[in-house]
Structure 1
């Protein structure tokens, strides 16, 4: 069952991120730490992402209507894609700035860096706990959760750097830590980008289509299956349509076949919405995945133009 993250939690996390941002900007300026300043701007971006995530979740909960017959769940997918893309962009920016700092090392005040990083770590862990409830069920919340969790990891790295720099002057340590954290952030965000693009492009979900064909043909009265389409509204809801060749049956019996099809697809394959077109001879020899002749001609003509 999907668990929603409440508006109060989103608001609390936003306030915590704004607080961290202010503290880290001041601490980064006083200590000269690029890692702290980078993390501060990262947190500022997180605050915007959290707000975006909250409104996306709110919009996604609206019911279907004549303008959006499949509802508004794609709002959360768009927010997840935006958040994850921002993470990658921030990561690239941090790497570029860290490389510049490696070429021109600066003295870092390890004591200030350490103190501010500990404050950031505590606040980030608190934010992560607030968002953890919905991170397993929503790509949108997961993307926001990863923002916060990556900040916590940044703080751990900065703490380690702060401890070392308090006792030993290693000018290259701060930018190296920055690069390491940035690479981790990008690594965590990339799978979300791939999954959200897959959903938005209406790519087929990972289903065993041959097994589906076999199961449906086992239903009494079904003789063939063709012209299958399957896509995802979000990471939970799979939409499925197919043409079934059936015996020459009364409509009342065809409806019973529909019920069996829906039950199999829902219980065995997790498909939530099924559309079936019953046919007698029409399309019997077509393939499982088939582009109608008219559609093929349209594609061919468009290509020639």
Structure 2
């Protein structure tokens, strides 16, 4: 058994654009209702979300975005009609927000489509980061929407106008709250299932729309009680709610763009790798989001007596365990370090050690100078 076989630079990783597991044929049911449910309800052909393929998750995200867009569009059309006959500023603010929110769904769908493109030499990690770029665009639209609502509310206070058809406004507010909450629940569930922060944010945004619709209802009640400026003041409250959503959206998108993940992701990866038979210890573990999929890599210590083939098989086993256990992971790279008698040889990283820090580089240069002299 040759120790030369243990090249510690052994990196092992595959891009997995497929699901692990036999999809098999399963019954979607028959009849009109079953067909509608199959289209609308997010689902995977595999019971384990950890092994849902990239194509499946992207298609599910696109489906959720389109269905949410249809629901919000129907709500907005109804509200536009009622704004025209009632003159409610609060309802106008809510409607403008809904229309703006619906408009941001189109770029998200485009981003999902772009993310399905194959990697190229220029974009060797693929195009899924387009989702996060769209997240920044969505944040800009949210900010513009808040600014417009504030402007309209100020104008309503300076130039008040009589409200009419308050029962219509009241009813539209209730419809808006219910419709937006349905869209929110659907998008958030789908977003969590596929790991899309952008889709989850869109769902949370829809939920905020529902809250602002409730605020419209409260504004109408205020007018009924004799507080004529309640409608315009509620418009300011809606703007404040939108700005709160903006801060949350920017924070989430920024974390993704800075390669941030939740702590439990690294903890789960470490646990799965450590529990794999043959792994002596686990070193650095990293993960980052690429759109709605996770890329991960880890350094593991193994017995130096393993051959290259055996080390490769162990790395393959680790990768397989991760793909089947940690949700949303698509690619895993395992770097194998040989261990002799439970200790990594000091010369293991001697060749590249001087690249790790300024102090290490200075030490390396000093040794080189001493050697030349």
**TM-score, normalization by structure 1:** 0.73
What's 1:190 paired with?
A: 247
The equivalent position to 2:258 in structure 1, one of 196, 201, 208, is: 201
Instruction: Write the deviation string for residues 75-94 of structure 1: whole angstroms up to 9, x where unpaired.
Output: 33333343244334433553
What's 2:217 paired with?
A: 159
What's 2:314 paired with?
A: 257
CA distance in 2, matches of 1:86, 1:157: 21
CA distance in 2, matches of 1:181, 1:57: 30
CA distance in 2, matches of 1:171, 1:142: 37
What's 1:78 paired with?
A: 133
The equivalent position to 1:135 in structure 2, one of 170, 188, 196, is: 188
CA distance in 1, matches of 2:251, 2:67: 27
What's 1:52 paired with?
A: 107
How many residues align structurally?
A: 288
DSSP 3-state at the match of 1:137: helix
* 1:74/1:233 contact within 8 Å kept: yes
Shift of 1:234: 3.4
CA distance in 1, matches of 2:152, 2:66: 35
DSSP 3-state at the match of 1:72: coil
CA distance in 2, matches of 1:153, 1:202: 32
DSSP 3-state at the match of 1:202: coil
Instruction: Write the deviation string for residues 7-27 of structure 1: whole angstroms up to 9, x where unpaired.
Output: 763563464255246425524
Matches within 5 A, 1:2-21: 3-6=60-63, 9=67, 12-13=70-71, 15-16=73-74, 19-20=77-78
Change beyond 3 A, Cα 1:217–1:26: closer
1:115 matches 2:168: yes
* 2:111/2:134 contact within 8 Å kept: yes
Change beyond 3 A, Cα 1:96–1:207: same
* 2:153/2:232 contact within 8 Å kept: yes
Change beyond 3 A, Cα 1:210–1:177: closer
Structure 1 gap segments, 5+ residues each: 301-305
1:106 matches 2:160: yes
| Structure whose CA Rg is larger | 2
The equivalent position to 1:43 in structure 2, one of 74, 81, 98, is: 98
Shift of 1:254: 0.3
Shift of 1:112: 2.8
Change beyond 3 A, Cα 1:170–1:105: farther
Shift of 1:182: 2.6
Moved more, 274-283 or 255-264: 274-283
Change beyond 3 A, Cα 1:117–1:193: farther
CA distance in 2, matches of 1:14, 1:169: 32
* 2:75/2:179 contact within 8 Å kept: no
1:145 matches 2:185: no
RMSD: 3.9
Shift of 1:35: 1.4
What's 1:177 paired with?
A: 234
